[in-house]
Amino acid sequence: MRTEVGKVEQRQGLAAGGKSGETIAKSMLEKFPNGVKVTSTAANRVNATVDRGLLYKVAEFLKNEMDFEHVTSVSGVDWYPENRMQAVFHITSYANRVTAEIIVDLPRDSPEVDSVTPLWGGANWNERETYDMFGIIFKGHPRLERILTAPGSDYFPYRKDFAGGRRV
Amino acid sequence: MDLRLAPNAIAMTSKEFIAWSTDVMAELMRATGVKKAIDKISAPIWSWALRNANYPLHFGVACCALEMAAASAPRFDAERLGMIYRSSPRQTDVLLVNGWVTAKLRPDLRRLYEQMAEPRWVVAMGECAISGGPWYDSYNTVQGVDTFIPVDVYIPGCPPRPEAMIDGFMKLHKKIHKEMRGTFLED
Amino acid sequence: MSEMWLNMGPQHPMTHGLWNLRVKIDGETITEAEPVVGYLHRGWEKLTETRTFPQIIPMADRLCYGASLSWSHCYCLTAEKLLDVEVPERAKYIRTIVLEAQRIGSHLMWLAALGTDLGSYTVFLYPMRERELFLDLMQDLCGARLTYNYPRIGGVRNDVPANFERDFTRVLNHFEKKIPDYEALCDESTVFHMRMDDVGKLTAEQAINLGVTGPNLRGSGVDYDIRRDDPYDAYSQIDFNVCVQKSCDAYARYRVRMDELYESVNIIRQAIKDMPKGPVRVKPPRNAVKGKSDWAHTEDPRGEAFMYIIGNGDDHPYRLKVRSPIFVTVSAAAWMLKGYKVADVPAIMGSVDMCLGETDR
């Protein structure tokens, strides 16, 4: 009852006919000359920093024109000493076999950013969890509620000013 | 029943007579030693039945649950010791807590414990259930199941091997045997 | 026509782990599903900020205890990228071997749990019997049955024992003859087919958009496997097939995992033959460089395991983010369950292979 599956020649990195990380970075910089800073590229990686007003447009561009179909992760980082937070999006393209890391800087007293859930359903729970843990508000999220902490909690646990330690 | 009032029994009202004569059989049996004789035979039988049919609850919390499943697997086979897992807490004798308890779970676990019928026992399996385990400094875990549920047997380990879990249940059997719950005319 | 919300969990024999599945039912048909997780949340990522880099390895084991070595290995890959450590060749081959052995163990545990879900206790007993053999092999190697604490940043903890090749070959030869037994128990059973065929359908576009990865994605016809497409360790030097099925239902996901059992046996055999000699461990630096961040992803038995780490100049991470595959797949449960009956829920959620430790972290 063994089903035979064929192999694919492409072993690692780029897919046949796919765009490499450098090509994608160049297209991004062409389309958004201000507000997007590419920090590093490799054949299958793109790392970029994006202004928070531009995030949704960059996400749309990646999805529709660069074939990025899958959101791997959405996370938050709390830079407490520098009074800012970051939302970090990792988006993968199966067609090109490239992963993009998009970092958005947010001010700590109003951490709001656009949600990418309307584009990729996979970001839904990841964004909910980032809200639950950091308090980063994703505008346009269908249901931004607590997901992991106990119901009725009023704290954001992963922030650096929340003292860890025994509480219950 | 106070036997010193017996000469006055004929002068009592019906209500007083009922109140006076309840439990006459039980008191007679206690006084004459019949209860002791029956206990000598029935208590070991009840205790044998209770400890050899320990039904745990189908409740897997975390990593130790996989060792609990391995204990029912062919190599270790806990079922020969009478441990048949039941899905409803009303039909179980043992609540086996095998994993860390969080603030969200704590009221539900307490409710499960209260839904179990007497006689019931609780076994804390693994370090997390005993005292919080590796998550001792977490803001969301309870530092030990015995902070809100009385525990009978603690099985240490992270995770305890299936042999250790079976050893823990053997200790529970010894404890049940000592309790001798099958006594006649008492709860 | 009245609809009601039904709570399946947190204590339910079907749940592999502790979660609550609330389904809105109209008679017996499910119209909506809402998974409620968080019963196992311990703030794992925050706890790592107070531990040094090597101290996190046994914590990572307890993320998903069904495939514990896969998670501590993913963490070691991430930390090696952050600390710029080059792993020796022999360690890469050893890691590949134990990862595939862990994959077999995890799939066998999944099959046993699927059997209990569908009410077939025999399907629970047979895979558990063979899983014990693999746990014995791991115990010879690193001393533990479930949470191994074996990979290290810079290699693995110790070299293989003396009879490694003989023991592994014996177990693999015996195991290969047993896989057709499991398939016969399931594939030749009409009841199994009735319960698993055409239930829990998730099309390829839905699966990709909702972030489903791993065997669940390959059961919907998408040909993507991180071991082939973004290789790590020794996978780039090993010939293996990627198992894909096209029918998008629960039976397809089951079939993908059974095929992966054959492939894992194949991979282990090749890796044992090609394993070079040399050291198995190098010493990593103690502190991370300030301002450096990196990430790594691996093909966990359940999907794409991804970790993102930021260093802060000293010996513990500033932020360690874990992306768990089942966290995202559970959110897709609402799509997989709509329109089916309540009695189909164990079959569908069993074919997804849930492990709640990594979901709640």
pTM across the whole model:
0.90
Architecture of the structural domain at C3-360: Orthogonal Bundle (1.10)
Token representation of residue A11: 């072993």
pLDDT at B43: 85
What is the 8-class DSSP label of residue B141?
A: B
pLDDT at A2: 47
pLDDT at A15: 61
Q: Catalogue the long-range contacts made by A102-107 (C-beta closer than 8 Å, 24 or more residues apart).
A: A102/A48, A102/A49, A102/A50, A102/A55, A102/A58, A102/A59, A103/A47, A103/A48, A103/A49, A103/A50, A104/A49, A104/A50, A104/A51, A104/A52, A104/A55, A105/A49, A105/A52, A106/A52, A106/A136, A107/A83
Does residue B64 belong to the interface with chain A, where contact is any CB pair within 8 Å? no
Do the Cβ atoms of B137 and A157 come within 8 Å? no
Contacts of A30 (CB under 8 A, 6+ apart): none
pLDDT, one tens digit for every residue, chain A (168 residues): 344 444 444 445 556 667 777 888 888 888 888 888 888 887 788 888 988 888 888 889 888 888 888 899 999 998 888 888 989 999 988 888 888 899 999 998 888 898 999 888 888 899 999 999 998 999 888 888 888 888 888 888 888 888 877 777
What is the 8-class DSSP label of residue A107?
A: E
Do the Cβ atoms of A72 and C321 come within 8 Å? no
Region of C87 on the Ramachandran plot (φ > 0 left; ψ -120 to 50 alpha; else beta): beta
pLDDT band at C77 (very low <50, low <70, confident <90, very high): very high
- How far, in Å, CA of A165 to CA of A72, rounded? 30
- How far, in Å, CA of C214 to CA of C223, rounded? 10
Of B103, B136, B137, the CB nearest to A168: B103
The 10s digit of each residue's pLDDT in B56-69 is 998 888 888 899 99
Over residues C72-82, the mean pLDDT reads 92
**Which chain B residues contact residue A168 at CB under 8 A?**
102-103, 106, 139-142
Which residue in chain B is spatially nearest to A152 when comparing CA positions? B104
CATH 1.10.1200.10 fits A21-110, yes or no: no
The 10s digit of each residue's pLDDT in B99-121 is 899 988 999 999 999 999 888 99
Does residue A152 belong to the interface with chain B, where contact is any CB pair within 8 Å? no
CB within 8 Å of chain A, chain C residues 170-209: 180, 183, 187, 206, 208-209
pLDDT band at C96 (very low <50, low <70, confident <90, very high): very high
**Which chain A residues contact residue C224 at CB under 8 A?**
94
Which residue in chain A is spatially nearest to B140 when comparing CA positions? A168
C1 has a pLDDT exceeding 70: no
Specify whether the CB–CB gap between C185 and C122 falls below 8 A: yes
- By three-state DSSP, how is residue C344 classified? helix
Over residues B10-17, the mean pLDDT reads 82
**Which chain B residues contact residue A167 at CB under 8 A?**
139-140
- How far, in Å, CA of B43 to CA of B45, rounded? 5
- How far, in Å, CA of B72 to CA of C128, rounded? 9
Taking every pair of Cα atoms in chain B, the longest distance, rounded to a whole number of angstroms, is 73
The 10s digit of each residue's pLDDT in C114-158 is 988 888 889 999 999 999 999 999 999 988 898 889 999 989 998
Specify whether the CB–CB gap between C18 and C358 falls below 8 A: no
What subunits touch chain B, counting only 3 or more CB pairs under 8 A?
A, C
Of C230, C242, C330, the CB nearest to A5: C242
Does residue B142 belong to the interface with chain A, where contact is any CB pair within 8 Å? yes
Beta strands of chain C (E only): which ranges? Answer: 3-8, 20-26, 29-36, 151-152, 155-156, 293-300, 303-310, 319-323
Of C47, C242, C304, the CB nearest to A72: C304
Q: Where are the domains of chain C?
A: 3-360
- How far, in Å, CA of C24 to CA of C178, rounded? 41
Chain C interface, best mutation among A45, A148, A159, by max C CB count within 10 A: A148
Beta strands of chain A (E only): which ranges? Answer: 36-42, 45-50, 70-79, 84-93, 98-107, 112-114, 137-139
Do the Cβ atoms of A164 and C46 come within 8 Å? yes
Contacts of A36 (CB under 8 A, 6+ apart): A28, A29, A48, A49, A50, A51, A54, A58
Do the Cβ atoms of A150 and B103 come within 8 Å? yes
**Which chain C residues contact residue A143 at CB under 8 A?**
none
Do the Cβ atoms of C38 and A3 come within 8 Å? no
pLDDT band at B164 (very low <50, low <70, confident <90, very high): very high
Could you give the ipTM of this predicted complex? 0.87
pLDDT at C306: 92
Q: C320 pairs with which residues across the strands? A: C309
Does residue A147 belong to the interface with chain B, where contact is any CB pair within 8 Å? no
Cis peptide, bond prior to residue B119, ω within 30 of zero: yes
Do the Cβ atoms of A164 and B104 come within 8 Å? no
Over residues C6-29, the mean pLDDT reads 84
- How far, in Å, CA of C3 to CA of C329, rounded? 26
Task: For chain B, list the domains and their CATH numbers.
Answer: 20-52 (no CATH), 55-179 (3.40.50.12280)
Over residues C99-113, the mean pLDDT reads 93
Contacts of A78 (CB under 8 A, 6+ apart): A85, A108, A134, A158, A159, A160, C319
Do the Cβ atoms of C65 and B135 come within 8 Å? no
- Between strands B121-125 and B153-155, the pairing is parallel
CA distances from A167 to A164, B97, B143 (A): 8, 21, 9
Over residues B84-109, the mean pLDDT reads 90
B159 has a pLDDT exceeding 70: yes
